[in-house]
Structure 1
């Protein structure tokens, strides 16, 4: 079962975006405060101290900003990315302090992955992404079209990365979205064939090992389909079964998350499922959260520890699941 852990009080305008871990006892949750308010939006980083989640002091920024992705290679090497006034925002944590890094311009920064302190990649909208080599940022071509974008990126091991998103084809009423999948081999990005996906986009990628990659595909109907790569071929994984109306929002290595709603209800309750090797098993939540309407649901897993987050009318909640 997931168990709640202490979280600082956050304003109702908080939007949660991404989680990252570095080992069993170090985790970071990023997002934005001031969303849909008259106040300027501000980046938010929470850090797990081993006892509680602590809101991190961040550098002052000259303009409203938001965070959408986070990655970590070690407790003293954490990267958070987002945007500020049309420019990419990159923050780095050295174990003591968060610093703002100046980067070349890119259209929109969405996600970040780090394989080592001297190998960090930022992707998003437009053809180009950012690569940090330990000393300098470089703008690198990632996509073949300016009408394509990347939403998700994951590190599979041995310096290899996969990133996914979508592109727009056609004009006007005849336009449609198609999936995009690319891989970094340590030197350059390559287009990859997707697992025979229909229209839509790659919503989430997560790797458990170099030959164990999970992919969530969002179709035009906004229904997520799940696929798994074994190093040679893709296999579709059945979606979790649920008596209610289940909406899967993402996939991690052996986990899914989303929300469910009863028939005839608009209340969206959090839902987390774990892969048994044959099917998806629902993971119980604390009673006070299981029946509560929730949004901004997310999850990440590492080793025996899995972290999940969600937002309810009462505020932000973070849950911890430890394998027996």
Structure 2
């Protein structure tokens, strides 16, 4: 069962974006405050101290900004990415202070992944950013300007995958197709994904090069799941859930999203854990599984899993520890 942990009071205008961990005792939650208000939006990072979540002091920025992703390799090496004034916003925590990091420009940064000192960032365009521990480099990962990348996962400096989608055709005959590329330590190349005719890849998660989870959106009912075992891709049935299930994400051994009963617009949070070949729902505390929620997310180390969700009562952060 998930158990709640204390969270500082956050304004109703807070939008949650991503979670990152560096071991079982260190975690960071990224988001944005001032969303859909007259105030300038501002990046938000909370960190887990071992007993509670606390605000991280971030650098002052000259323009409104938002965060879209966060990644950590160690307690003193945390990266967050977002956007400000039409440029990517990259923040780095060195164990003492958060700093802004200057990078080449890309179009609307969406996701970041990190392995030791090897960092990749993708955005809504064909260009990616790569930090090799010394210098930032701009790379073309895609051939078409009608393709873009929105999700990343990595296992080591020679195995990083990025997914997204492209647009084919024109007008009423246009359609979206999935895009999957692989970084081998030197360059990006097309990677053979599951046989998907339409839609886009919305989520990637990997533990090893032979254990990759992929979430594919082909219509409006959330993710469809696929798994790579090093030899072939296999479609994985979605968890059973009452009413209408809409999955938002997948991690190694976990899925998360919302479900709604028929003829309602109430979206209740749901988290499932992989047990053998089946998905098992994980209970939520304080009747949260009966409460309408959004901004649902999760990250896991394998033994410790953090989840977040937002309800009308505010932001909730939950912790699950494997027995």
TM-score (norm 1): 0.97
> What secondary structure does 2:288 align onto?
helix
4+ residue runs over 6 A deviation: none
- Distance in 1 separating the partners of 2:319 and 2:193: 33
- Distance in 1 separating the partners of 2:33 and 2:7: 15
**Structure 2, unaligned runs of 5 or more:** none
- Trace 1:43-192 onto structure 2 (pairs within 5 A): 43-117=43-117, 119-157=118-156, 159-192=158-191
- Trace 1:1-324 onto structure 2 (pairs within 5 A): 1-117=1-117, 119-157=118-156, 159-324=158-323
> What secondary structure does 1:45 align onto?
strand
- Distance in 2 separating the partners of 1:155 and 1:288: 35
1:194 CA displacement: 1.8
- Distance in 1 separating the partners of 2:219 and 2:289: 29
> What secondary structure does 1:187 align onto?
coil
The 8 Å contact of residues 13 and 33 in structure 1, kept in 2 or not, is answered as: yes
The 8 Å contact of residues 204 and 214 in structure 2, kept in 1 or not, is answered as: yes
Aligned residues: CA RMSD: 1.1
- Distance in 1 separating the partners of 2:135 and 2:207: 29
- Distance in 2 separating the partners of 1:221 and 1:109: 24
- Distance in 1 separating the partners of 2:154 and 2:276: 22
1:178 CA displacement: 0.7
Deviations 1:142-167 (A, max 9, x none): 11111111111011235311111111
- Distance in 1 separating the partners of 2:125 and 2:262: 40
- Distance in 2 separating the partners of 1:44 and 1:199: 35
Deviations 1:184-234 (A, max 9, x none): 111111111220013111010011222111000001334311000001110
1:48 CA displacement: 0.6
The 8 Å contact of residues 156 and 162 in structure 1, kept in 2 or not, is answered as: no
Report how many residues are paired.
323
The 8 Å contact of residues 25 and 48 in structure 2, kept in 1 or not, is answered as: yes
**Structure 1, unaligned runs of 5 or more:** none
- Distance in 2 separating the partners of 1:17 and 1:240: 23
